[in-house]
Amino acid sequence: MAKRLVLAAPSGRLQLETYDPPDPGPTQIQVKVLATSLNHLDWKRIKKNLFIASFPHVLGMDIVGHVVDPGESQRFQEGDLIVSIGTLGYSDGCSYQTHALVQEDSCCKGANGGVVTSSNETTAQAQARGADYAFARSDPDLDTKIKSVAPDLHLAFDTVVTEETISQIVDCCQKPETVATAIKYTGAAIDGVKLNSVYSGEIMGKTIAGQPSVAGVELGRWLWGGLDNRLGSGQITP
């Protein structure tokens, strides 16, 4: 029996219920969710009622699972293990449920990988899982160590986005530099640094507000279409 966690009302608690999973549409596959995450975006959406058009609503932004119904897909078959991201604001496409509908252009086969946390004890684990370099953010020599392996660094991606993390990135990079941020930076302007907000929805063909993004569609197809091959060949390692 299919089950899901739903948000029944604004700022409410998640409630467990049974449901009938919908059939996949023309560009979708149905996935039985094996693993997900407690994504920070989910509790923020609950607290601030962000991008929730109606209730009850399903949350969950990260999906690993088996294909149970490939629909019309020529790329995926029943039983394939896939990794994908949830669709913001679309309950049927989110991960806090046993079955989710995933856009076939927004997922790839295979879901093996490693996880890196902020704990100092996990640097060895990260290296054991294929990381070329692993640094602890609390290391007093962090800037020096990063510069020693990437002396000409001009591009960086910040998923925390505070004045502290931006400043630390600036110290590690050569100017002029560009820093992509997962959320909008609201701190003081930094001379010689270009800040660009990048939203996960862009690679799914939508902006953060759910509007179509042509560039995002093309980027998503390129990224997801070749990701499984790059992982399988070792071009990308955890």
* Average pLDDT over the chain, rounded to an integer: 80
Residue that the structure tokens 């042509």 belong to: 214
Model pTM score: 0.55
Q: Greater confidence, 136 or 200?
A: 136
Q: Please give the share of the chain, as a percent, with pLDDT higher than 90.
A: 26
Query: Distance between CA atoms of 145 and 19, rounded to whole angstroms?
Result: 52
Amino acid 28: pLDDT: 93
Helix/strand/coil percentages in the chain, nearest 5: 30, 25, 50
Amino acid 201: pLDDT: 47
Helix or strand (DSSP H, E) at 44: helix 40-48
Q: Greater confidence, 140 or 29?
A: 29
SS3 48: helix
Handedness of CA 190, 193, 194, 199 (dihedral sign): negative
Its CATH architecture, for the domain 129-233, is 3-Layer(aba) Sandwich (3.40)
Q: Greater confidence, 218 or 67?
A: 67
Instruction: Please give the order of strands across the beta sheet that includes 107-109.
Output: 99-103, 28-35, 62-69, 81-85, 107-109
- Enumerate the CATH 3.40.50.720 domain ranges in the chain, comma separated: 129-233
Q: What is the CATH T-level fold of the domain 3-109, as seen in this structure?
A: Quinone Oxidoreductase; Chain A, domain 1 (3.90.180)
- Enumerate the CATH 3.90.180.10 domain ranges in the chain, comma separated: 3-109
**Which of 20-34, 80-94, 128-142, 146-160 is predicted with the least confidence, judged by mean pLDDT?**
128-142
